[in-house]
Amino acid sequence: MIEKYLWIAGTLPLLILGTLHLIYTFFSNKFSSTNKSLEEEMKISFPVITRKITMWKAWIGFNASHSIGAMFIGTVNLFIATFHFSILQNSIFYLLLNIVTILFYLWLAKKYWFSIPLIGVTISSCCFVTAGIIILVK
């Protein structure tokens, strides 16, 4: 049953970091640039694809959707691990989909993010991969 608790533990950094990221996106200046002129330029610049949004609105939207994605993955996996663990045990597709997804997040964290999300995603990755190996070996 250790695999169940590892999977649950792996969801917690996703939930915590995703929630904090959403709070920081809408209720703080944590994702504002220290270069105020850059931020002002983002508010009047448009992406090539459309002039209907500014780069600033895109930045806020990407941060918000990123937050919700982490919260969604964490919540769905917490629910399944807690109440329907047999899905993880009996569906190699679902198990591997989650492992591939968290490993992609790990690659993103290593390449593009800073240390706190990297630590959190590393914890989630270790928990999911270890639980996955135990499930597959059984």
pLDDT tens-digit map of 57-83: 999 999 999 999 999 999 999 999 999
Per-residue confidence at 118, pLDDT binned at 50, 70, 90?
very high
What's the rounded mean pLDDT across residues 31-38?
A: 95
Q: Which helix (H) or strand (E) holds 39?
A: helix 36-44
Indicate the angle between helix axes 36-44 and 55-83, nearest 10 degrees.
Answer: 90
